[in-house]
């Protein structure tokens, strides 16, 4: 696609405005909206000026001028605006050099794909994420000096078995027990129509939904899977996916969250990331080794497992992420690989014998991550494994959760907190710097932001549970 195609599409759709979207360092979407007359062919070269100093983790006030340069390959009409609005995704560019801004996540993904081709190992990395989320009926939270707390509610929640019904809102008794929410039918699954609507809207904006279903947790945990694509396109799609899910829920009087662990004592929301390398239309991960893998795929696994402690600083990037990544529970914290085994950090799906279906699934990430940075980091770890022939060792074809302590002691594990993950990233990031995909300053900014804006505020605040444990000391 080119600028002319975008302009023709905007005219056909009678667009009145254009929303130019970009992603900040932590991974949230932002946009500027212009009357459609301001969008011309030159806009795709010259861009739109904006102030980058007001964005989280970005430029200082003395270097705030940046450009948003739209990418003509991805456009759609916003399904949620009253006035017809064309949407474009932009890269953030330095206005003087016209190079990608070093802290722009999408520019990192662009450089990662370029570096992959430069290596000659492959020309395409396909990525397929499975982003789980919760849909609640109500949420409230507060953090004051003298008071803190949160409350969520969902008609599906098992705690509502005791709710006193009314004529307008009777209690049907159909509520999902903890950890028993995986793919039930209605009336237990109350959200099938909402997910149908989400899926239809996703199709309208160019995202090919493959399947949707209720997930394991009570109280509205869901999953909608969409078709894989190359790294950059998939990261774009994931940002759009989250936008559609949240706004569709809002239109229907509900609220959706991609927070990894909103509920105590039930499954959290993960985002398993499927990956495969291709060259000249040929899949490179299929072979005659374990689970039908090629030697290249095994080395890619070796890179993922070696660098996993650093990777989760991006892939599980919140303090809340480590409420999900807890040994002995549902998340894979043990650094092993296995076929079909969902207790391993790297799983090799075995649904199909086709070489085109051969892929790896990295299971620790969650949907709070910035997809541009996360997918790029996973690719760089895998490529490092291939370039240095990193042997992942023997597969672990056992339920890791049930291993005896003496055997489990030999299996390395992920960091137990965001703080530990950041330390791992500080100590292991040279593999990210190859090809200038990541920069030292970007990694340092990420670590500084996470420590100052997320870890320290949580460390300073008393937790409500501490009152239960310690008040009467």
The pLDDT assigned to 328 comes to: 73
- Pair type for strands 85-93 and 17-23: parallel
Q: Out of 212, 272, 307, 429, which one is annotated catalytic?
A: 272
Cα-based angle 368, 190, 325 (whole degrees, multiple of 5): 30
* pLDDT value at 206 more than 70: yes
pTM exceeds 0.85: yes
Distance, CA of 144 to chain centre: 30
Catalytic-role residue among 21, 74, 195, 363: 363
Task: In whole angstroms, give the CA distance from residue 200 to residue 192.
Answer: 12
Q: What is the pLDDT of residue 227?
A: 97
Is residue 14 part of the annotated active site? The answer reads no
Side-chain-facing half-sphere of 9: CA atoms under 13 Å:
18
Res 10: pLDDT: 97
Alpha-carbon distance of 372 to 101, in angstroms, equals: 14
From the candidates 41, 51, 138, 407, give the one annotated as an active-site residue: 51
What number is the average pLDDT over the span 137-165?
A: 93
Overall average pLDDT of the 124-146 stretch: 97
Strand segments (E) across 215-310: 221-226, 229-230, 255-257, 271-279, 282-283
Query: Does residue 334 contact residue 409 with C-beta atoms inside 8 Å?
Result: no
Query: Is pLDDT of 289 > 80?
Result: yes
Q: Is 212 annotated in the active site?
A: no
Domain boundaries, the chain: 3-101, 124-470
Catalytic residue among 78, 132, 384, 419: 132
Of the residues 24, 113, 223, 225, only one is catalytic, namely 223
Q: Is 361 a catalytic residue?
A: yes
Question: What pLDDT, on a 0 to 100 scale, did the predictor assign at position 102?
Answer: 86
174-190 pLDDT, tens digit per residue, is 899 999 999 999 999 99
Euclidean distance between CA atoms 433 and 377, whole angstroms? 10
The predicted model gives 109-134 an average pLDDT of 98
| Alpha carbon distance 237, 245 (integer Å) | 12
Q: What is the pLDDT of residue 166?
A: 82
pLDDT, position 73: 95
Question: Mean pLDDT across the stretch 45-70?
Answer: 83
CA 98/CA 290 separation, integer angstroms: 46
Please, are residues 59 and 96 in contact by the beta-carbon 8 Å criterion?
A: no
Contact criterion met (CB below 8 Å) for 110 and 439:
no
Q: Considering the chain, what is the average pLDDT of its residues?
A: 94
User: What integer pLDDT is reported at residue 410 of this predicted model?
Assistant: 81
Examine the residue annotation and report whether 452 is marked as an active-site residue of this protein: no
Would residue 363 show up in a list of annotated catalytic residues for this protein?
yes
Q: What is the pLDDT of residues 13-41, one digit of tens each?
A: 999 999 999 999 999 999 999 999 999 99
Can 3-101 and 124-470 be said to share one CATH topology? Answer: no
304-342 residue pLDDT tens: 999 999 999 999 999 999 999 998 776 788 899 999 666
**Per-residue pLDDT tens for 351-389?**
888 999 999 999 999 999 999 999 999 999 999 999 999
Angle, helices 105-119/231-251, rounded to nearest 10 degrees: 150
Spatial CB neighbours of 131, under 8 Å, sequence gap ≥ 6: 223, 224, 238, 241, 242, 258, 269, 271, 367
Tokens for 274, please give them.
């499927």
Share above pLDDT 70 across residues of the chain, in percent, rounded to a whole number: 98
Query: Which is the catalytic residue, given 342, 397, 420, 454?
Result: 342
Give, in words, the CATH class of 124-470: alpha beta
> What pLDDT does 13 receive?
97
Helix 371-387 vs helix 231-251: crossing angle, to nearest 10: 150
Distance (Å, rounded) from C-alpha 256 to C-alpha 220? 9
What DSSP assignment string belongs to 381-448? Answer: HHHHHHHTT----S---S-GGG--HHHHTTS-B--SSHHHHHHHHHHS-HHHHGGGSS-HHHHHHHHH
184-201: average pLDDT: 96
Please, which pLDDT band fits residue 61 given cuts at 50, 70 and 90? low
Q: Are 115 and 171 in contact (CB under 8 A)?
A: no
Question: For this structure, is 180 an active site residue?
Answer: no
Q: What is the mean pLDDT of residues 82-87?
A: 98
Q: How confident is the model at residue 62 (pLDDT cuts 50, 70, 90)?
A: low
Q: Which of 104, 225, 361, 384 is catalytic?
A: 361
Compute the average pLDDT of residues 447-453.
97
Higher pLDDT, 141 or 406: 141
Give the integer Cα–Cα distance in Å for 82 and 220.
Answer: 28
Does 454 participate in catalysis according to the annotation?
no
Annotated catalytic residue: which of 130, 155, 225, 384?
Answer: 130
Confidence category of residue 151, pLDDT binned at 50, 70, 90? very high
132 is catalytic: yes
Residue 401 has pLDDT above 80, yes or no: no
Count the helix, strand and coil residues of the chain and give each as a percent rounded to the nearest 5.
Answer: 35, 25, 40
Instruction: Decide if 51 is catalytic.
Output: yes
pLDDT band at 56 (very low <50, low <70, confident <90, very high): confident
| Secondary-structure class of domain 3-101 per CATH | alpha beta
The pair of structure tokens assigned to 6 is 């975008």
């Amino acid at each position: 696609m080119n600028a002319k195609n975008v302009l023709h599409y905007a005219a056909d759709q009678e667009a009145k405005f254009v929303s130019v979207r970009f992603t900040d360092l932590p991974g949230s979407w932002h946009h500027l909206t212009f009357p459609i007359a301001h969008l011309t062919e030159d806009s795709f070269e010259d861009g739109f000026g904006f102030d980058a100093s007001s964005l989280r983790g970005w430029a200082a006030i003395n270097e705030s001028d940046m450009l948003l340069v739209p990418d003509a390959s991805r456009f759609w009409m916003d399904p949620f605006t009253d006035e017809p609005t064309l949407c474009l995704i932009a890269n953030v560019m330095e206005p003087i050099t016209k190079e990608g801004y070093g802290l722009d996540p999408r520019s990192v993904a662009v450089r990662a794909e370029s570096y992959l081709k430069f290596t000659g190992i492959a020309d395409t990395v396909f990525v397929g994420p499975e982003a789980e989320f919760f849909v609640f009926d109500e949420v409230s939270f507060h953090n004051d000096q003298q008071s803190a707390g949160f409350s969520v509610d969902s008609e599906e929640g098992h705690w509502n078995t005791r709710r006193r019904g009314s004529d307008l809102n009777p209690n049907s008794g159909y509520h999902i027990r903890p950890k028993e929410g995986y793919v039930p039918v209605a009336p237990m699954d109350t959200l099938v129509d909402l997910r149908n609507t989400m899926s239809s809207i996703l199709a309208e904006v160019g995202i090919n939904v493959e399947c949707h279903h209720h997930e394991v947790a009570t109280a509205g945990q869901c999953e909608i899977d969409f078709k894989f694509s190359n790294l950059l396109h998939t990261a774009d799609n994931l940002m759009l996916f989250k936008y559609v899910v949240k706004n569709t829920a809002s239109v229907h009087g509900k609220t959706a969250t991609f927070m990894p662990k909103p509920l105590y004592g039930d499954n959290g929301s993960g985002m398993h990331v499927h990956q495969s390398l291709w060259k000249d239309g040929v899949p490179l991960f299929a072979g005659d080794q374990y689970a039908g893998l090629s030697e290249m795929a095994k080395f890619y696994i070796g890179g993922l497992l070696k660098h996993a402690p650093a990777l989760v600083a991006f892939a599980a990037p919140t303090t809340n992420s480590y409420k999900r990544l807890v040994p002995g529970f549902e998340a894979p914290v043990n650094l092993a690989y296995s076929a079909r085994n969902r207790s391993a950090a790297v799983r090799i799906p075995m649904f199909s014998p086709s070489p085109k279906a051969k892929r790896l699934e990295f299971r620790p990430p969650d949907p709070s991550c910035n997809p541009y940075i996360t997918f790029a980091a996973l690719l760089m770890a895998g490529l490092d494994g291939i370039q240095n022939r990193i042997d992942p060792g023997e597969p672990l074809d056992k339920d890791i959760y049930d291993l005896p302590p003496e055997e489990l002691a030999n299996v390395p594990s992920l960091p137990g907190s965001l703080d530990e993950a950041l330390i791992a990233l500080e100590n292991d990031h040279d593999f990210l710097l190859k090809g200038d995909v990541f920069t030292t300053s970007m990694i340092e900014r990420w670590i500084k932001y996470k420590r100052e804006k997320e870890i320290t505020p949580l460390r300073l605040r008393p937790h409500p549970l501490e009152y239960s444990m310690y008040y009467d000391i």
